[in-house]
Amino acid sequence: MEKLIERTIFQEIKQHLTDKEITVIIGARQVGKTTLLLHLKDYLISQKKISSERIFYFNLDRLKDLAFFSEQEEVIKFLETRKNFGTIFLLVDEAQRIPNAGRFFKGIYDLDLPVKIVLTGSSSLELKAKFQEPLTGRKRIFYLWPLSLMEVIKWKEPGLKEIIEKTKTISQYDLEKIQKIEEELVIFGGYPRIVIEKNEQKKIKFLEEIYNSYLEKDIINFLKIKKPLIFNKLVSYLANQICQLVNLDELSNSIGVERKTIEHYLNILEQTFIIKLLSPYFKNPRKELVKMPKVFFIDNGLRNFALGNFNSFKERLDKGAVLENFVANELLKKIFPPHSLHYWRTLHKAEVDFIIRYGDGRVVPIEVKATMLKKKKISRSYGYFIKEYQPRKGYLVNLSLKGEEKMGRTKISFIYPYELIMSV
């Protein structure tokens, strides 16, 4: 039996179990929500010593479980008859399957029964529509992403994660181990099932199953998309355009559908955790404002499947794009929420790959280079941003060079991808 891949967010969710607020965990299909809920159940029983008679797990993809939630009064009766047991833990997987789910759980929450509700869902679109207003002030949302680099390193090489966290310099031997894991994630992505599988052909087969399941269950059956072939064509087109600006008119012409359909499909892709659209960062709209977002895939493996390209990193013609997409994902997993990730571009096309905007207003510029740098060189665009905003620090992520440069008051660190995740 494979050992459990421990999710970083699990610690936060454990702490939230003592809050009355409803815990809502959202993320893509097969990203590990069910495993996380079952891990939570096991934690409550084995470590918190809570009787299994007080913990109830339901998966609403199962018709029998969904039928149980067809009548709110029946669920309330079920909970009321157990209120003398102590706090009941109600763990509900794929909660968006319940019609009017927000009002359904609001009604239970407002009865003030001794019950802690934990919900998961695969579609942010559906959850927002059903939960947003009814559960205002009654919920906290946690985002579960595909596995991060550090989660995979901790699972595959537990001692290596400790070395990374405690030492500033590591051996070439350890660096090569890290780079091997990085390349696996860059090519095949971080879906748990893909990470666990060792055979590359099986990884590709599983990615196909994940995508087809998403297309069938969420897009065709659940969201009732009437043009799945057009939807699929858009996904393939975007896979070829990662890290680039999204021009709606250009997309409309290329795909052959009207602009509002493209907007609708892009919204669905983002809310079902297939893509992420990064908005521009700006302080001076007249000089800097480029309204178009940049598109990234939430998982490199799914992107490479849509493109049909699983070549090794050194053989790829899109090295820069796949590395930048990987860094975007790692940053999102680390900082979002509460902080936000953007790109920066002026009307004169000066551009910086990523800008982290922290809640306190601080900004950190990040540039990603897939080339083998031989000297510490700062691009004109990057220098222009630093001159305009004077951040305390910035990062230039690359594969060959380490060191620091000073530009005014800004300390610019040349670092490897794994170091960036430890630094932001």
Q: Does residue 264 lie in a domain region?
A: yes
Q: Does residue 101 lie in a domain region?
A: yes
Distance CA 191, CA 372 (A): 29
**Tell me: the pLDDT tens digits for 305-318?**
999 999 999 999 99
3-state helix, strand, coil in the chain (%, to 5): 50, 15, 35
Region 11-40: mean pLDDT is 95
Question: What is residue 394's predicted lDDT score, i.e. its pLDDT?
Answer: 98
Is residue 301's pLDDT more than 90? yes
Q: Does residue 3 lie in a domain region?
A: no
Region 103-118: mean pLDDT is 96
Task: Tell whether 127 and 25 lie within a shared domain.
Answer: yes
**Tell me: the pLDDT tens digits for 95-105?**
988 988 889 99
Question: What is residue 131's predicted lDDT score, i.e. its pLDDT?
Answer: 67
Is residue 1's pLDDT more than 70? no
- What domain range includes position 112? 10-143
Distance CA 246, CA 278 (A): 10
Question: What is residue 340's predicted lDDT score, i.e. its pLDDT?
Answer: 94
Task: Tell whether 186 and 122 lie within a shared domain.
Answer: no
Task: Tell whether 20 and 81 lie within a shared domain.
Answer: yes
Task: Tell whether 139 and 159 lie within a shared domain.
Answer: no
Cis, bond preceding 417 (omega within 30 deg of 0): no
Query: pLDDT band at residue 132, thresholds of 50, 70 and 90?
Result: low
Task: Tell whether 369 and 309 lie within a shared domain.
Answer: yes
Task: Tell whether 407 and 389 lie within a shared domain.
Answer: yes
Lowest mean pLDDT among 10-19, 96-105, 109-118, 273-282: 96-105
Query: Could you say which of 121, 143, 165 is where a domain stops?
Result: 143
Identity of the amino acid at 226? K
Question: What is residue 287's predicted lDDT score, i.e. its pLDDT?
Answer: 57
Query: Could you say which of 118, 143, 168 is where a domain stops?
Result: 143
Task: Tell whether 99 and 201 lie within a shared domain.
Answer: no
Is residue 289's pLDDT more than 60? no
Question: What is residue 286's predicted lDDT score, i.e. its pLDDT?
Answer: 61
Q: Does residue 5 lie in a domain region?
A: no
Is residue 40's pLDDT more than 60? yes
Question: What is residue 194's predicted lDDT score, i.e. its pLDDT?
Answer: 98
Q: Does residue 4 lie in a domain region?
A: no
DSSP per-residue letters across 64-124 = HHHHHTT-HHHHHHHHHTTGGGS-EEEEEESGGGSTTHHHHHHHHHHTT-SEEEEEEES-H
Q: Does residue 2 lie in a domain region?
A: no
CA dihedral 382, 386, 387, 392 (to 10 degrees): -160
Question: What is residue 130's predicted lDDT score, i.e. its pLDDT?
Answer: 66
Task: Tell whether 116 and 137 lie within a shared domain.
Answer: yes
Task: Tell whether 274 and 318 lie within a shared domain.
Answer: yes
**Tell me: the pLDDT tens digits for 368-420?**
999 889 899 999 999 999 999 999 999 999 999 999 999 999 999 999 999 99
**Tell me: the pLDDT tens digits for 139-153?**
999 999 999 999 999
**b/e map 238-257, b = 16+ CB within 10 Å:** bbebbbebbeeeebbeebeb
Total domains present in the chain: 2
Task: Tell whether 115 and 157 lie within a shared domain.
Answer: no
What does the mean pLDDT of the chain come to?
92
Region 230-255: mean pLDDT is 95
Dihedrals phi, psi of 245, to nearest 5 degrees: -70, 145
Distance CA 92, CA 119 (A): 5
Greater pLDDT, 190 or 158: 190
Q: Which two tokens stand for residue 412?
A: 């610019």
Three-state DSSP at 19 gives coil
Task: Tell whether 116 and 204 lie within a shared domain.
Answer: no
Q: Does residue 177 lie in a domain region?
A: yes
Query: Could you say which of 143, 177, 210 is where a domain stops?
Result: 143
Query: pLDDT band at residue 92, thresholds of 50, 70 and 90?
Result: very high
Q: Does residue 1 lie in a domain region?
A: no
Q: Tell me the pairing of strands 55-59 and 88-93.
A: parallel
Is residue 278's pLDDT more than 60? yes
Is residue 222's pLDDT more than 90? no
Task: Tell whether 288 and 366 lie within a shared domain.
Answer: yes
